[in-house]
Structure 1
Amino acid sequence: MQRLLILIILLFIVSCGGQSKEELLLEGNRLSAEGNFRGAVVLYKNALEKDVNYLDARIGLAEAYLSSENFDRAEKEFQKVLLQNPSQTDLLLKLAAIYINQKLPEKALLELDKYHSNNHETVESLVLYGRAHGASGDIDSAEQFFKKALQLDSTAIDPRLNLAKVYLQKKDFVIAKQYLQEAISIDNKLIEAYYLLASIETRQGNREAALTAYSNIIQVDAKQLQAIYMSGILQMDLGDMAAAQASIDKLLSSFPDRSDGSRLNGFLLYRQEKYEEAKIALEDSLKKQQHLLSYFFLGLSYYGLENYEIALNQFQKALDLNPSFERARILVSMTLLKQKRLDDAIIEVQKVLRTNPDNAYAHNILGSAYLADGQYDQGMAELETATDLDPDLADAHLKRGIFHLAKGQGAEGEADLVKAVDAAPEVLNGRLMLVTHYLRQKNYSAAVQSLQDGMDGSKADALLNNYLAAAYFSQKKPVQALAALEKAKQANPDYLTPYFNLASYYASQSNYEKAIAEYYQVISADSKNLRALLGIAALYNVQGKVSDVDKMYGQIEATGTESGFVAAAQYQLKKKQTAEALAIVDRGLQSFRDSMPLLELKGGLHLQQQQWDDAETAYIELSGVSAERGNNLLVRLYLSSGQSAKADKLISEVLSSDGDQEYPYLLSSLFLAGQEKKQEAVKILQQGIATVPHPLRLQMQLARTFEQDDKSQLAEQLYQRIIQSAPRFAPAYSALGFLKESHGDKGAALEYYKSAIKFDNKSTSALNNLAYLLMDNFGEEEEALNYAMDAYRLQPNDPRIMDTLGYALIKNGRAEDASNLLEKAHDLLPGVAAVTLHLAMAKIETGEDSIAKGLLEEVIASGDKSELQQAEELLNTL
């Protein structure tokens, strides 16, 4: 085949030999117009062999390279054209576009400046200016250039699309949508605008609006596979199974050789509980393409048919494709539970928890297995861990049901084991274990009978009625389930779980008024119950009842609890009501004078308003509670407000009073380093090292100071001396690892990070850095995931650790889990290109190409050179 291709090319080249340069140019132009750029390149080159100065052929060659995204060669050819004909200044715009794509925004700006020195501003040139500024990270300037282009031509589409992308990056979805809708009103066949619009609506949870956008894409181009596929998914989510079937039929007829249609058909049939038909569709899908989710849903279908051994086999095939696919592993454990293979079930779910110790469902399943095995203490410990990790798990129980997860019965509930046991652990006995077993086996009549037999008119009936409600929910009998929950309330009005369960059920049915009424009953029993108060506030917020939300946060403050004051102040801060937030903090401090969160919040609020004196007062009070924290914030305050003399004085006072401690010297060195007084910083650290009995932190800071001053050898020597004096001091190993990694010695870095973890398995920096190093340099994705998971378990709110874990999950084929985590990291670090790129990678893996496209465009617009190439390569695959 390869020889034949070479022969065809040779014949093609030979045939060109007899044509004139004009004929070659015309033929090249024809091929280029048809999108055959490789063929066009050959013809243009042949024309130039006949006449090296043939300008039209040179321009054609440059354009062909540009259209095929061979930017390096396109640049060289355009430069040759300009040498031949410097008057063709329009080519400067071509060069600017090339430089933007090459991640060279500064060179692009130079070309644009040259263009504007001889030409008037055009929409194209202004848009390129905007794109170049966006690529360099100057989003505000980019926005101004796009707006200027729009002023030049109010009907232009390109500026609107770019402005939409800018506001997407700023997470201002309202304005982004406005520009997209304007673009669509000008050209209602603008597919790119519809995809962007669909991605925004999806991110905002507006499934119907997203579906409308995909429908518009299909109207423009009926062969847009991604739009058809996503329409089918959304139609299923919205419960419109007939429309979903129509989308499936369209995929099957338009793309018969692809697996997408039969896979989506399998998903639909499974949701309709047509397990036999789903099995056939999914097996057909797998004949065309091996796919993780096809095996997974095939396993679920066999599970629904109660053919547990084959179900187990399909889940295992999914795990063969991706050993880290948590959902498949959990379903393996659930299937083994069905088969009463309790030991095997426990082993499988423990594998999940080894890599993801924060998986609430896995803890819940493990607890259930232990309970079924009679290991009550272990079972209860696991169930309590599950609800600690996910406080909303009770709501999930009611809506989906942990024991029936594999059945996909999203509307069914189950017994709220955790909340029940927390409320009345003394009644956890053999009867409840038997009921749990019946529920797992779907023997609902036996479960109901056992629960009713156990009721004796005591307060313990409240717990039993909770289980009874679960049994009824499992049978799709919500009327009886709700009645059981009401009886639970009557049996023990002080047992609050039924109220919360009822509130969760009503909220899931969008019956907000009834849900709020249940929360109010909780409040009547416990007026300071923050969970109920915050639940009401959240429901009012969903309904857009701003004034009611305001009133509720007033009640939250009125609880008089420290957490209540903090929550109420933070709510006002979100509303940008700084004065009111301050007033709440002050009221809270009247009751909690030594509250660190309230004092720090107060100082921060004053700092926002540049009220330096008031901020200083707050931080001085904080230093009385925590000297190190308060004084640290005071030094930062003085530096930011230009009061370096005060900072200097404070440090002198701290040194004189606490000179035998480390932190005064640390504060002083950081202050001096910030003023570029590195030698003085070194001296104060050396003074502290000579004074403080155990100056490890000071020695570490001195070594870091050496690093910052490009004295890596001195830094390394000091780290080594620290290790000699304190062989188990993990931070020194971690710092050495980072130093070695930054100088390209990856092997040494690996060993130092591992040593740091050996002596301190809670060293998040070492865990995080080691995970990244293993992924990017040693190809040890599974081992990297373990370290990243450990780091995340220790610092679950650190967005950079979230990013590392998300990236590790992608590398291990767990894109869906990665997507959830990376969305949080992206929200916390919206301007960090690496985080945005990783989220885009996850979205590509989960099939959300339109969202991925928007994210990749954010990366490209950021101008981060370390991420641009990969972002562009991924974007070209979509």
Structure 2
Amino acid sequence: MIPVTLRKLALTLLFSGIISGCGPDTDLSSEAHAERAQQLLDEGKLKPAILEIKNALRTEPANAELRWLAGTIYLEAGENAAAEKEFAKAIELGIHSVDSELPLVRSWVAQGKLQEGLDYFGAKELSSLSLEARVLYAEILLASGEVSQAEELLEAVLEESPDLVEALLVLARLEIGRRNLPVAKRLIDEIILQEADNPFANLIAGELAVAQEEPDKAGDFFAIAEQDSRTKTLAKLGLARIALIRLDYPLGHSITRSILDESPNLPIARYLKGLLYFQEGEYESAINELENVIAVIPKHTASQLLLGKIYLDNNQLERANLALSTVVDSDPEHLSGTQLLATTKLRLGQPEEALSLLGEVTADSNDALSLVVAGSAHIALGQTSRGAVLLEKATAIIDDPSLLRGPLARAHIAAGDFDTAVSELRTLIQSGTQGPETHLLLAFAQISKGDLAGAYTVTEELKQAGFTIFAVNLLGAIELRQNNLDKAKKHFISALEEDPAFIPALMNLGRIELAQNALEQAQTHFNSVFEIDPTHADAALALTEILVREDRVDDAIELLREFSDHNQSSRALIVLAQLLSQKGKSDEALQFATRANTLSPTAPETAIVLALIQNGLGLNNEALTTLLKVPEQRRNGQFNLAIAQTAQVANRLSLARSTLNSLIEESPTEVSPYVNLISLELAEGDLLAAQKVLSSLPETTAGYNTLYPTLFGDIHRSAGRYEFALEYYQKAFQEGASAKLLHSIAGALLKLNREHETISMLEEWLSEHSDDLPTRLLLANQLMLQGDDGSAIEHYEEILKYSDSHPLALNNLAWLYHQNGNAKSIAIAKKLLNLGIENGDILDTAGWIILNEGDIEQGLSVLSRAHDLEPGSADITYHLAVALQRNEKYSKASKVITNFIKAYPEHSNRPEFVAILEGQKGSR
């Protein structure tokens, strides 16, 4: 929009420049041309105005004011690239005026160069901008999909100037985008009443009429807007919108093609072309056009919304989630975006998130889609009566109740009510529904309820309807359900022979191969899926599983990192967090788990992983908060047990007790709540309370004869009565021998200083259970403590035959090799580093060995990392000080020791510390 004041400003600047010109003849010539150009501009005669300004510029090409006027004329004429060039030249030549750069910004906007406009205003102080500039900024923000920011800016402008037409028009366009059509109509009607010929008002009035599906009225408004060169292009695009309403697709394509020939990068024209393809059912072409828009304007609301709908319709749920989340994040009040995103969340199995997006939906609502989604979500959560009320209301107000059968069937499937789902889907098929999806849903419901004969019938119906590939794939799924893997594979291979890019068959085939441990073949099929659809979370997770099985955890982490950089999948993020946590990278794991929890804040599996990581970092209260955010209806016994355990660690003992008592009341023969409640009472030193809990354990509990003496042994051990503890552990062991009980017996024996008896017992157990790595590790550790390095080394080496990356076995073996002068120690130390585990003790071992093998720089680097992780360890502090000495950093070595002693004065007389402070070099 170019205000009238801008034209006057151009003329004023022009005359002020001409007065100070060079010679009278030259001035007169350029002045005459300039005056004529201005006069023609005011009369709306733009072509002759362009000729006159060109004549003026031939005389004075370096005149900033002439360039400014030229830009103004070109902008009025809709020659935006030429306008940009002239305004840029005027600014380069030093033109000075209020908001002198705004016309240049307008020329960018007219060409679809929104990022340039965003960059321009982004570098400005908002308070320094004029009202006109702020309105233009809001217009750019709105076109860029930054709806909330645009609205905030417009509200501030209208607070200063409530009747500013330009701001009201941008606000009207914003409300049209949100489908708040009555609000938009009120705004536009008031402006049209005052300025009936305002081309911008008529343009937006036409857009409103299109949204109201009133093509004749829209045509009248666009006809007025088309008379003005500034709005001519957008008015033509409005005619393409009318063609869409009238289903005149050839005309729509003709209009958009002619505009794109003139302005090939105009985003709104690309969007309309995508919309045309969508309505014609050409989804791939539509996606290509829309992605062209998003490449230029990543948050273009209309394009992201349409992409989300296409992906949702084609069951590409992760992609739909990404596109629609972009819409809602930019504008939380966008009703259509919110409803579609809620639908997507529901189909992703996230009914809580769907309800959270929709807010409170009651039977008083008259929005059918909100009623359907909310009702379906309540049913999926087991709130059947509440969901049914909403769906009944939707049925009463919707024009075609059959449209509800699909969502209703999905909801019943999610709730496990397969019989009702089958009934709904059968009715839907009988009504003449097109496409394979309904048949596939029906087959899924029948397979889930065990009606394989019914599912076979569906395959025949699919074949008769011409959906052969779906029928073949379904036959494979039926065989898979019966565990006939070879028959299933044949069907999936047959489907791929018809279409090598058929994702369901690729995924099914890959899953079978994964189950059969045919990792290379599985990887090939999952990679094919990933190439077709880079947002396919299941394919990414399957490839991750393969890499983990191949002991390529670092590669698995990198795969999920890259996937999560471009996709919003809480499942991928949570697996990535788990892998990072296993590698000891807890801080990074926390970041990804938090992202996952933000995407799915009420998903139990996400909350559990995040809470575990938070607990590991000592963030116990935060972990408890994470778990408590999950609604009660989504918690099961295991989840509530995690709440109790976390509450105990967070010192919320009353919550822990009440939760455990509730679990015991709900499931009196479930073991875990008793064990945890006894553990809680023992930790508090209340032995009587622990015994009381134990006495309430029903004798009908599974494994009672083993469990009861085990827990009684725990109570005695907690009281320091190790003889009694040993007696009860041995009784339990006689009832049911297990490695866990063996370790409890070993613990009691060691407390009684019966080390040799412990070693003999462990050796005897391993003679019959050679693959019991935890017990072998316990034995190796005990042998090392007893000074039997040779035997300890043998057992650590045996462990590594089974698990060649076992961190503790590698750590202790490296240390023993080093102590015994075995050159293998350096290789194991470096292997420890390659594991990437951020553990202070492990890094200390590796760093100390590397240092003493002569690589003093790497040794110092590794020991510094160890000290950063465990600054309170005296041994690590000493090793770091020695490394600093070896690197001739003596003052730093002394400082490390001094700082440690200040923090831990009980170590002030430690001999090696005293030696360092006295300037003596540390020993090996």
Bin of the TM-score, shorter chain as denominator length? 0.3 to 0.5
Q: Greater relative contact order: 1 or 2 (C-alpha under 8 angstroms, separation 6 or more)?
A: 1
Larger Rg: 2
**TM-score in terms of structure 1 length:** 0.38
